[in-house]
Chain A
Amino acid sequence: MIEFKVTPIRNGTVIDHITVGMALNVLKIIGIKGENVQSTVSVLMHVPSKKAGWKDIVKIEDRELDPKELDKVALISPNATINIIRDYNVAEKFVVEVPDVVKGIVKCQNPGCITNMHEPIEPEFLVESKKPPMLRCIYCDRIMTEVSDYII
C-alpha cells in the first residue's frame, strides 16, 4: 500500500516548487492568515524534488487563488508553479512571474527611507531585474535584493 504523507486535495490551489524554506513566507506574501481562511491549508517543508533537490509545497483547499495575485510569490520563490485543482485533477497550471511594480508587499530595507517613518503611504518598488529579483524603491531609490527578509 502506498502511504501518502499528505493526501492530494480535491479542489483548490497548490503552490509547488517553492524555494526550500520559503513556504511560510509564501503564506505571508499571499495574505493567508489563520483568521481569514475557511478551509484546510497544508504546508510541506523540505520535500524531495527532482529539479532542485528540496522544495516546499503549499496546498490551499477549496479556494482558487487568482494567478495574478500569486505573481508576487515569484519575488521570494522564482521557480514556484501554481496548480488549480478541480476534482483531483490539475485544471490549470501557471509559472509565477515577478510583476513590474511591487506595492504594499515589501518594505524598503533602507531604515532611513521615508516609507519606514509612519507616513500614510505604501512602499512601492520598480522591478529592475526579475531573476534574481531586484527592486528599486520609488521613494529613496535604494536597490534591494534580499526581498524575503522584508515582507510586510
Chain B
Amino acid sequence: MSSSYKGADLVAIRDFSRDQIEHIMDLAEKMVPIALGQERSDLLAGYVQSSLFFEPSTRTRLSFASAMARLGGATLGFDQPGGSSVQKGETLADTIKMVDSYSDVIVLRHHSEGSARLAAYFAEKPVINAGDGAGQHPTQTILDLFTIRKAKGKIDGVNVALVGDLKYGRTAHSLAEALALFGAELMFVAPANLQMPKETIRAVDKLGGKPKTMTSIEQAVPEADVLYITRIQKERFPDLAEYQKVAGSYKINNALLKDAKTELSIMHPLPRVDEIHPDVDLSPHALYFQQAFNGVPVRMAILALLLGVIE
C-alpha cells in the first residue's frame, strides 16, 4: 500500500477507498496485542494528539486516548468546551489553527455538521472526524466493519440487519454504504416513518447491494448473521407515546433470539438505553463490548497511518 495516508484527513468514510479501508483493518489486526496490553510499543513516542471534544463521548474519546497511549504518544485537549476559550466565543477555525501548532494530529467531535471538514480546511495536520453532529463518524464505521470481519472472517455475503432509527442516524447511512461496498447483504429494519432515506437506498443499490426493507424485527432475526441495533432517538418524536410504541418494538431479548442462527452476532454502537436486555450480554450472540474494544486497535492503525509512521 502506498504512503497516501500520511497527512491525510479522515472526515468521511468516502474519503478512503475499499482497499485503503482493508489496509487499515489489516493493520488494526496487528495492533490487537498492543491494544490488549500484551505487547508494548513506542511507535508513536514523541507524537501529540489533540483531542477536542465539544460534545460528550465516552467510548470514542477514551479509545482514541488509549490508542495513542498504547503506542507511546501523548494526548492533550478537552472533553467539554466549558474549559476552553470556545466559551469566550472563539471560532472553531481559530481553535483549530491554534491546536494545529501544538500537536501532530487533531481528533474532533463537534455538534455542527461539517465541522470536521472545516477543521481539515484550516489545519495542516491530519484531522480525524470523531463525529460531527448528525453527520459522519468514519472511525466508528471502520471499527464496525472490522468487528464484522473479525467475527465472521469476511464481510462479503454476510447478512447484516440494521435495526432502529435509520432515517435520522446518518452513521447508519454511511455504515450501510460501507457494508454495500464490501459486499454484505443488507436488511433495513425500521418503523415506516424511520426507514432508511431513499438516497441511501439508491446509493446502496448502486454499489450492488440489494437491501430488503421491513418493519418487523421478528422477520429479520432468523435470516441475519449480524443484528446491528441503533438507539431510537427520543428527541426525534413529537409525541412521547409514539416514541414508546416504536422504541418498544425493537427490544432485543433472549425470547426474540430463539429463532436466530447459532452464530448470530449482535452489535450496538453504544450507549444503549433499553434496546438490548442485559440478559443478552451473557449469550454468545453479544458482540457489542468486543465491538467497543475494537475501537482501540482500529484507531491505533488510523493514527499510525495518518502520522506516516507506518505505510
Task: Give the interface of A toward B (CB within 8 A).
Answer: 108, 110, 112-115, 117-121, 137-143
Q: Give the residues in chain B near A113, CB-CB below 8 Å.
A: 112-114
State which of A110, A112, A118, A139 has its C-beta within 8 Å of the C-beta of B91: A118
A114 and B112 form a contact (CB under 8 A): yes
State which of B12, B114, B199 has its C-beta within 8 Å of the C-beta of A115: B114
CA distance A140 to B117 in the complex (A): 8
Q: Which residue of B lies closest to A110 (CB)?
A: B113
CA distance A11 to B256 in the complex (A): 78
Check: B93 CB closer than 8 A to any chain A CB. yes
**What 10 pairs between A and B have smallest CB-CB spacing?**
A139-B114, A140-B114, A140-B113, A114-B112, A114-B114, A114-B115, A139-B117, A114-B118, A113-B114, A112-B113
Task: Give the interface of B toward A (CB within 8 A).
Answer: 12, 91-93, 110-115, 117-118, 121, 132-136, 199
B92 and A114 form a contact (CB under 8 A): yes
Q: Give the residues in chain A near B93, CB-CB below 8 Å.
A: 119-121
19 new A-B contacts, CB < 8 A, other than A112-B111, A120-B93, A143-B199, are A112-B113, A112-B133, A113-B113, A114-B110, A114-B112, A114-B113, A114-B115, A115-B114, A119-B91, A139-B113, A139-B114, A139-B117, A139-B118, A140-B112, A140-B114, A140-B117, A141-B12, A141-B135, A141-B136
Q: Which residue of A lies closest to B133 (CB)?
A: A112
Q: Which residue of A lies closest to B170 (CB)?
A: A141
CA distance A114 to B114 in the complex (A): 5
Given contacts A114-B114, A140-B114, contact A120 B91 (CB under 8 A): yes
Interchain Cβ contacts under 8 Å between A and B, 30 examples: A110-B113, A112-B111, A112-B113, A112-B133, A113-B113, A114-B92, A114-B112, A114-B113, A114-B114, A114-B118, A114-B132, A115-B114, A115-B118, A117-B92, A117-B112, A118-B91, A119-B92, A119-B93, A120-B91, A120-B93, A121-B121, A138-B114, A139-B113, A139-B117, A139-B118, A140-B113, A140-B117, A140-B132, A141-B114, A142-B113
Nearest CB in chain B: distance from A114 CB, A: 4
CA distance A137 to B244 in the complex (A): 35
B199 and A140 form a contact (CB under 8 A): no
CA distance A113 to B91 in the complex (A): 14
Nearest CB in chain B: distance from A121 CB, A: 6
Q: Give the residues in chain B near A117, CB-CB below 8 Å.
A: 92, 112
CA distance A150 to B307 in the complex (A): 39
CA distance A114 to B110 in the complex (A): 9
Q: Which residue of A lies closest to B110 (CB)?
A: A114
A112 and B12 form a contact (CB under 8 A): no
Q: Give the residues in chain B near A115, CB-CB below 8 Å.
A: 114, 118
Q: Give the residues in chain B near A137, CB-CB below 8 Å.
A: 114
B134 and A112 form a contact (CB under 8 A): yes
Q: Give the residues in chain B near A143, CB-CB below 8 Å.
A: 199
Q: Give the residues in chain B near A121, CB-CB below 8 Å.
A: 93, 118, 121
B117 and A112 form a contact (CB under 8 A): no
Give the residue among A110, A137, A141 with the most B Cβ atoms within 10 A.
A141
Nearest CB in chain B: distance from A33 CB, A: 28
Nearest CB in chain B: distance from A66 CB, A: 28
B135 and A140 form a contact (CB under 8 A): yes
Give the residue among A114, A120, A137, A140 with the most B Cβ atoms within 10 A.
A114
CA distance A20 to B228 in the complex (A): 50
CA distance A112 to B112 in the complex (A): 5
CA distance A110 to B117 in the complex (A): 15
Q: Give the residues in chain B near A112, CB-CB below 8 Å.
A: 111-113, 133-134
CA distance A104 to B190 in the complex (A): 38
Nearest CB in chain A: distance from B50 CB, A: 18
Q: Give the residues in chain B near A110, CB-CB below 8 Å.
A: 113
CA distance A143 to B93 in the complex (A): 24
Give the residue among A110, A117, A119, A143 with the most B Cβ atoms within 10 A.
A119
Q: Which residue of B lies closest to A117 (CB)?
A: B112
Q: Give the residues in chain A near B136, CB-CB below 8 Å.
A: 141
